[in-house]
């Protein structure tokens, strides 16, 4: 035998059904065994909620917070992730960086996208406007995130045997240093040693001179080769 329904405000309510009163969404009723019982709806405490929303025709407001963040709040848990609280839900998206307009941009600490305010060149951070050398013959400049380098233009030399000192780009005519080079025999790799009686001759194939070294005096002199 079926349980009888309920007649309420001109409507037949099936037994076991829950319903709300018309015009009063905060009164919840139930039909059971032909009888209708109603009670007031208990809404959750919203004291700690920063943002809430109550839809039309409903009794209780719904908290839209995401933990301790109100709805609409935006934050970045890391430099490359953008998050927001939307109607009680946390939505996170990866930050998309635009292509840098320079050749050597810098990604600063705490930021996701590289910028063109400085230059990261060959693993070295260069400030905007810095001038530096990558080797003795190249001078480089950092300008707005891009490094440009120019080769050093060497002036002409007037001597027959110019030398390039270590750490310099252009050869020069420092005759004093050149003579010292001969005296300490730096050029011995290109020379042939020949012993004759009590005298020692250093023959340089690419010169018309030989260095005369005597066992009997400490000095050295230059004499034409025979």
pLDDT digits (tens, 9 = 90+) for 122-136: 999 999 999 998 888
Q: Is the pLDDT of residue 75 over 90?
A: yes
How much of the chain exceeds pLDDT 70, in percent? Answer: 75
| DSSP track, 105-132 | -B--TT-SS-BSSSEEETTEEE-TT-EE
pLDDT at 134: 86
Instruction: Enter the tokens of residue 85.
Output: 């609280």
Whether this model's pTM surpasses 0.85: no
State yes or no: pLDDT of 60 exceeds 80.
yes
pLDDT score for 217? 38
Q: Are residues 112 and 89 in the same domain?
A: no
Q: Identify the band that residue 158 occupies on the pLDDT scale cut at 50, 70 and 90.
A: confident
User: Is 46 a domain residue?
Assistant: no
Choice between 166 and 116, residue whose per-residue pLDDT is larger? 116
CATH number of residue 128's parent domain: 2.10.70
Predicted pLDDT at 87: 86
Q: Decide if 132 is inside a domain.
A: yes
Assess whether 192 and 216 both reside in one domain. Answer: yes
pLDDT reading at 4 higher than 50: yes
User: Would 73 be classed as within a structural domain?
Assistant: yes
Residue 74 is assigned to a structural domain of this protein: yes
Q: What is the pLDDT of residue 202?
A: 44
Residue 194 lies in a domain: yes
Count the domains in the chain.
Answer: 4
Q: Does the structure show a pLDDT above 60 at 115?
A: yes
Mean pLDDT of the chain, nearest integer: 79
Per the domain annotation, does 85 fall within a domain?
Answer: yes
177 assigned to some structural domain: no
Report yes or no on 81 lying in a domain: yes
218 shares a domain with 197: yes
Range of the domain at 138: 104-153
């Amino acid at each position: 035998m079926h349980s009888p329904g309920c007649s309420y405000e001109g409507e037949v309510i099936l037994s076991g059904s829950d319903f709300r009163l018309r015009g009063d969404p905060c009164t919840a009723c139930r039909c059971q065994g032909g009888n209708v019982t109603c009670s007031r709806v208990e809404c959750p405490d919203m004291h700690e909620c920063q943002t809430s929303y109550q839809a039309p025709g409903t009794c209780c407001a719904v908290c839209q917070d995401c933990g301790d963040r109100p709805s609409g709040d935006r934050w970045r848990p890391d430099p490359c992730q953008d998050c927001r609280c939307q109607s009680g839900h946390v939505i996170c998206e990866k930050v998309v960086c635009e292509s840098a307009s320079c050749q050597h941009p810098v990604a600063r600490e705490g930021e996701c996208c590289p910028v063109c305010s400085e230059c990261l060149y060959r693993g070295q951070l260069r400030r905007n406007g810095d001038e530096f050398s990558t080797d003795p013959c190249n001078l480089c400049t950092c300008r707005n995130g891009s490094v440009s380098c120019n080769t050093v233009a060497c002036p002409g030399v007037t001597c027959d045997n110019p030398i390039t000192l270590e750490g310099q780009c252009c050869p020069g005519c420092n005759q004093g240093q050149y003579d010292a080079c001969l005296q300490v025999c730096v050029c011995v790799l290109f020379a042939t040693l020949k012993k004759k009686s009590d005298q020692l001759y250093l023959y340089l194939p690419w010169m018309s001179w030989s260095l005369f070294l005597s066992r009997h005096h400490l000095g050295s002199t230059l004499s034409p080769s025979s």
